[in-house]
């Protein structure tokens, strides 16, 4: 059963741009209209931690850097990331059990040392830009869903809070991992928006009905002529779907 959250609180808006002024402008325009801001590699690489702080302001932050390295290196990266006070941060589940356990431990210990709330640490299963053919080219045979479920179970067994997954695997992961496993879902496109480079997509209403907790929505809001109006339109659509 999907957790009882207000429609707006389910939305993290992806600000995937190196333009700090644009990112700050969009973030400020959305204060109070969405649940938080997702910042990924493009903005982080261009603007660094100070840029992240400036854009996020006081809004909940999903720090989408997808750490994937040896356990010690990932633990160090997570310790540094917790200083940015993210609500959620992620690692690649394909980095394995030891890496994910190290990430979870680093998040717990650093948050305790700083006296702040521990961020949710989640695993990235299979990128939403990949389909079965793409996976076969890198040596993964079988449907994308099989790999997603394998990595979701490994993430849960490693003690992390949840996963990033495609909308198409929400129901299967919810069934396999239970109601308290956090599902953060990109590849969300309103019916009035294009799918862009995402291959496994779903509308916001469909994703919530399937059991998603949080939706990551980028271009349909951030690239809109009026980001606030776009966010409100999505929230209104969700309000007709959610029964808390």
Residue from 3, 38, 41, 66 carrying the catalytic annotation: 66
- Cα separation of 29 and 200, whole Å? 29
* Coil, helix or strand at residue 142: coil
- Cα separation of 138 and 201, whole Å? 22
Beta bridge partners, 90, equal 122
* Coil, helix or strand at residue 155: helix
- Cα separation of 35 and 51, whole Å? 20
- Residue 217 contacts residue 239 (beta carbons within 8 Å): no
* Chain-centroid distance, C-alpha 144: 18
Please count the other Cβ atoms lying within 10 Å of the Cβ belonging to residue 138.
7
| Residue 199 designated active-site | no
Closest CA to 117 of 159, 87, 80: 87
* Chain-centroid distance, C-alpha 6: 17
- Residue 198 contacts residue 128 (beta carbons within 8 Å): yes
Active-site amino acid positions: 66
């Amino acid at each position: 059963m999907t957790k009882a959250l207000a429609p707006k609180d389910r939305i993290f808006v992806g600000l995937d741009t190196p333009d700090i002024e644009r990112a700050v402008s969009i973030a400020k325009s959305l204060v109070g209209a969405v649940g938080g801001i997702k910042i990924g590699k493009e903005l982080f690489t261009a603007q660094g931690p100070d840029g992240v702080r400036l854009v996020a302001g006081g809004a909940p932050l999903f720090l989408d850097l997808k750490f994937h390295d040896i356990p010690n290196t990932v633990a160090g990266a997570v310790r540094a990331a917790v200083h940015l006070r993210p609500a959620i941060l992620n690692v690649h589940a394909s980095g394995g059990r030891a890496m994910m356990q190290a990430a979870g431990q680093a998040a717990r210990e650093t948050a305790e040392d700083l006296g702040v709330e521990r961020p949710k640490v989640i695993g990235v299963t299979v990128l939403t830009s990949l389909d079965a053919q793409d996976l076969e080219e890198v040596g993964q045979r079988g449907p994308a869903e099989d790999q997603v479920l394998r990595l979701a179970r490994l993430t849960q067994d490693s003690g992390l809070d949840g996963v990033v997954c495609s909308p198409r695997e929400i129901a299967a992961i919810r069934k396999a991992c239970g109601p308290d496993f956090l599902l953060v879902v990109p590849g969300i496109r309103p019916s009035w928006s294009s799918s862009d480079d995402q291959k496994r997509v779903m509308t916001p209403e469909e994703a919530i009905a399937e059991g998603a907790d949080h939706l990551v929505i980028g271009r349909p809001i951030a690239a809109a002529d009026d980001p606030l109006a776009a966010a409100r339109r999505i929230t209104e659509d969700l309000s007709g779907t959610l029964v808390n």
